[in-house]
């Protein structure tokens, strides 16, 4: 018996079908000779002297697609490299270029080379498409040649209709095309664009149209294609597509310019040049719809910069212009107008406009506008303390997006972030962290700066509650990076200040934290108008004053805010204000007033479902809460808050269970204790009190022992909780 082994790129002149039936042949085809991922990893590790990490192996596998010769060339290229080899092997590697040129390309006929070069512009193709692009009938027969000779042709379906070239071979061909037939490239793309458009494949048609540089076909496609992507919520993709269009074409197409400007606003990619263009754009020859689009963009800029007067002026104008021309854009303008009222603190009016935009968009099937409006509506409901309604709306939007294909996903992270904020206030901290992190991860995947800012800001609130200093530092670092490398909305400046102040506070550097925040001059205006972020910052400033036992500084801030917050139904901030006012009255020595204010806060907290607003006041609030006699209508709720606070304090340095010292502090120890919150070192304390350094150390050890503390910070916190620093 003779066993014949034939190695060939071309099927031999044998009756393979008959031999298969008789089980007299084993036919191993090229696809069976490709390594899978595990085989590729094993091959590379055996043939390269350097340890490769998983990312590098995966990159090599994706580029070579398991092609063994390609992996061998990669191994040859990397074998003698020293040090890290993070992704050093690419399509321009000389081993790959030389191999494909000498072993494959130079061996082909001129006609086949011409076919390969002209079809290299296609990411996928059919026989019919190759004939259109090459301009030669019958050229699709070359596909049969490539298939028979196993020349890097990869089928994309079972019927053999669609194909593509191997990644490395495709890149090689494109480089050769640029060298050998540079004058034909735009014409090839134009033919491809025409064919794809005829098949209704707008994505690929638009790609090739842009690369063709043909203004006529770009303008023809833009009308339908741009609105299709906008309606589908594919804003990131649309922004990339429009950014690829030559400037000369953009300059002559009003609608494309307007879409590009709005997309950049939406993505937070705003620079001085864009703002200049938006506000200097002449609209004298625009249609009503185009004027409305321009007004909407100007209103969107007002939203980013927190200028309510700009939003109101331009959004109102846009609504009128869109009344008969575009219901989709009208709903968008109504939603932006809602932001005017949200920024100015009028939540009832904001809710009304967000609800109108949401319901209109839902009725007319405008998914993007519906999700935009739903997000703002849910955030407004959360701010009003209407947690049940906000959660129901968020869950409904998440269900719609996750259960149906073709839904815009860029707002998914925002809805999870709102759920995270609500869960945090309800003291479901694990759920809060899970939803908040999920929201951030989704925003990071979308690579949208504005969505990142929203989700980072909302996650910060959970990290404040958890007192997770390292996580706050991480997010603050990311936000500052965004601030340096792109445009950030004006409303983010306040959260950045608060985050830095929080870090100072956690180091017991309250004075520096206060200096980090904006002074409360904003409250001196006769007609008080403060944004949501201003309110957060002012309430945090008041809390810092209370930590320093300076109620005289906190009281004016809280008095000015309380009526404004109640009038505008900002119940989350109003409750925070009540808690701070109760602490303030307590520090003034007015216990009756402190308990009355705290009783009002507990009634509101029970009604709305708040929890963390009380718990986050911990040792400042505990002396009032622990002595109160709760009324029947809030008894269970108040006791639950008190018990939760005692549990949290028992795990911190400020345990309420050890109010009385076993061994009282001496006058000298009290004197030293009151200097510990300062930044004075122990030698400096010794110098200040005219005693020796060793004496200070002895007293500090005694203080630690009597307070059951292990560090200076713990001693200070315990002393504050027991009011020893007064």
Q: Which of 493-497, 616-620, 711-715 has the lowest mean pLDDT?
A: 711-715
Whether 601 and 626 share a structural domain: yes
* Residue 521 φ then ψ, to 5°: -60, -25
628/537 same-domain check: yes
- 89/77 Cα distance (integer angstroms): 7
Q: Are residues 525 and 613 in the same domain?
A: yes
DSSP 536-593: HHHHHHHHHHHHTT-HHHHHHHHHHHHHHHHHTT-HHHHHHHHHHHHHHHHHHT-HHH
Q: Please say which residue of 57, 90, 123 terminates a domain.
A: 90
Residue 497 in domain: no
d(CA 314, CA 324): 17
DSSP-derived secondary structure letter, 125: B
Average pLDDT (661-682) is: 81
Q: What are phi and psi of 405, to 5 degrees?
A: -70, 155
Residue 69 lies in a domain: yes
Residue 648 has pLDDT above 50, yes or no: yes
Does residue 318 belong to any structural domain of this protein? no
Q: Quick one: pLDDT at residue 67?
A: 66
SS3 164: strand
- pLDDT for the residue 556: 92
Neighbours of 230 (CB within 10 A): 20
pLDDT number for residue 52:
66
pLDDT digits (tens, 9 = 90+) for 586-615: 999 999 999 999 999 999 999 999 999 999
Residue in this structure with the two tokens 């002895």, named with its chain if needed: 698
Output the average pLDDT for the chain. Answer: 82
**Do 682 and 639 lie in a common domain?**
no
Token readout for 563 is 């009526």
Q: Tens of pLDDT along 510-541?
A: 889 999 997 767 667 666 667 778 889 999 99
Residue 678 shares a structural domain with residue 638 = no
| 625/708 same-domain check | no
Task: State whether 525 and 636 are in the same domain.
Answer: yes
616 and 552 together in one domain: yes
Do residues 285 and 249 make contact, with C-beta atoms less than 8 angstroms apart?
no
Number of domains the chain is built from: 3
Q: 274 versus 115: which is more confidently predicted?
A: 115
According to the model, what pLDDT value does residue 346 have?
A: 84
Residues 606, 695 within the same domain: no
CATH number (domain holding residue 581)? 1.25.40.10
Query: What length does the chain have?
Result: 726
Contacts 24+ apart (CB under 8 A), 601-606: 601/575, 602/630, 602/634, 602/637, 602/638, 602/641, 603/633, 603/634, 604/385, 604/571, 604/574, 604/575, 604/578, 605/575, 605/637, 605/641, 606/634, 606/637, 606/638
- Within a domain: residue 213? no
pLDDT in tens, 161-180: 898 888 778 888 888 899 99
- Residue 176, C-beta contacts closer than 8 angstroms, at least 6 positions apart: 105, 117, 120
**Would you call 466 helix, strand, or coil by DSSP?**
helix
Range of the domain at 42: 34-90
Give the alpha-carbon dihedral of 335, 337, 343, 346, to 10 degrees: -100
Looking at the chain, the number of H-run helices and the number of E-run strands are 39, 2
Position 693 pLDDT exceeds 50:
yes
- 535 and 642 housed in the same domain: yes
- Residue 274 falls inside a structural domain: no
């Amino acid at each position: 018996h003779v066993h014949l082994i034939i190695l060939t790129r071309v099927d031999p002149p044998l009756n393979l079908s008959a031999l298969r039936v008789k089980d007299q042949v084993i036919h191993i085809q090229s696809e069976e000779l490709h390594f899978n991922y595990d085989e590729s990893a094993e091959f590379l590790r055996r043939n390269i002297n350097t340890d490769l990490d998983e990312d590098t192996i995966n990159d090599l596998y994706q580029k070579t697609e398991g092609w063994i010769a390609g992996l061998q060339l990669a191994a040859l290229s990397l074998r003698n490299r020293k040090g890290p080899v993070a992704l050093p092997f690419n399509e321009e590697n000389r081993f790959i270029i030389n191999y494909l040129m000498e072993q494959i390309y130079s061996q082909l006929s001129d006609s086949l080379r011409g076919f390969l070069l002209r079809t290299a512009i296609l990411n996928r193709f059919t026989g019919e498409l190759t004939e259109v692009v090459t301009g030669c009938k019958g050229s699709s027969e070359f596909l049969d040649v490539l298939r028979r000779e196993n020349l890097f042709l990869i089928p994309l379906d079972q019927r053999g209709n669609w194909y593509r070239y191997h990644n490395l071979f495709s890149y090689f061909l494109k480089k050769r095309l640029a060298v050998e037939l540079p004058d034909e490239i735009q014409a090839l793309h134009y033919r491809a664009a025409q064919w794809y458009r005829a098949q209704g494949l707008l994505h690929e048609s638009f790609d090739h149209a842009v690369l063709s540089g043909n203004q006529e076909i770009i303008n023809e496609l833009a009308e339908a294609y741009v609105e299709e992507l906008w309606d589908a919520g594919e804003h990131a993709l649309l922004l990339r597509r429009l950014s690829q269009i030559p400037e000369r074409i953009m300059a002559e197409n009003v609608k494309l310019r307007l879409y590009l400007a709005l997309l950049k606003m939406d993505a937070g990619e705003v620079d001085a040049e864009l703002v200049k263009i938006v506000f200097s754009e002449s609209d004298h020859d625009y249609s009503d719809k185009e004027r409305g689009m321009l007004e909407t963009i100007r209103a969107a800029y007002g939203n980013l910069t927190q200028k309510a007067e700009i939003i109101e002026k331009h959004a109102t104008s846009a609504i009128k212009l869109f009344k008969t021309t575009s219901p989709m854009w009208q709903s968008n303008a109504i939603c932006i107008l809602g932001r005017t009222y949200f920024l100015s603190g009028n939540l009832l009016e904001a809710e009304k406009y967000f609800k109108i935009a949401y319901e209109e968009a839902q009725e007319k099937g405008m998914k993007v506008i519906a999700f935009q409006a739903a997000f703002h509506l849910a955030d407004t409901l959360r701010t009003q303390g209407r947690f049940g309604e906000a959660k129901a709306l968020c869950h409904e939007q998440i269900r719609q997006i996750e259960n149906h294909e073709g839904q815009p996903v860029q707002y998914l992270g925002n809805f999870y972030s709102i759920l995270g904020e609500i869960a945090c206030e309800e003291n479901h901290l694990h759920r809060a962290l899970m939803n908040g992190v999920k929201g951030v991860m989704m925003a990071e995947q979308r690579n949208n700066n504005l969505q990142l800012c929203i989700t980072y800001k909302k996650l910060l609130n959970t990290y404040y509650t958890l007192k997770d200093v390292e996580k706050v530092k991480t997010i603050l670092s990311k936000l500052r990076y965004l601030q340096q490398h792109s445009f950030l909305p004006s409303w983010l400046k306040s959260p950045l200040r608060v985050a830095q102040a929080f870090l100072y506070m956690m180091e017991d550097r309250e004075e520096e934290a206060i200096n980090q925040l904006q002074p409360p001059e904003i409250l001196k205006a006769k007609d008080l108008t403060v944004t949501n972020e201003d309110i957060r910052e002012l309430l945090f400033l008041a809390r810092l004053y209370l930590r320093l036992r300076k109620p005289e500084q906190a009281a004016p801030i809280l008095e000015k805010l309380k009526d404004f917050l109640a009038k505008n139904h900002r119940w989350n901030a109003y409750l925070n204000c009540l808690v701070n006012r109760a602490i303030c009255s307590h520090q003034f020595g007015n216990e009756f007033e402190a308990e009355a204010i705290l009783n009002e806060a507990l009634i509101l907290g029970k009604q709305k479902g708040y929890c963390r607003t009380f718990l986050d006041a911990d040792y400042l609030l505990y002396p009032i809460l622990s002595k109160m006699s709760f009324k029947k209508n809030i008894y269970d709720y108040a006791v639950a808050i008190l018990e939760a606070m005692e549990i949290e304090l028992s795990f911190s340095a400020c345990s309420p269970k050890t109010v009385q010292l076993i061994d009282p502090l001496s006058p000298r120890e009290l004197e030293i204790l009151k200097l510990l919150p300062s930044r004075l070192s122990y030698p400096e304390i010794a110098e200040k009190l005219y005693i020796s350094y060793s004496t200070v150390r002895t007293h500090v050890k005694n203080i630690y022992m009597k307070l059951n503390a292990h560090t200076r910070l713990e001693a200070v916190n315990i002393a504050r909780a027991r009011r020893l620093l007064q």
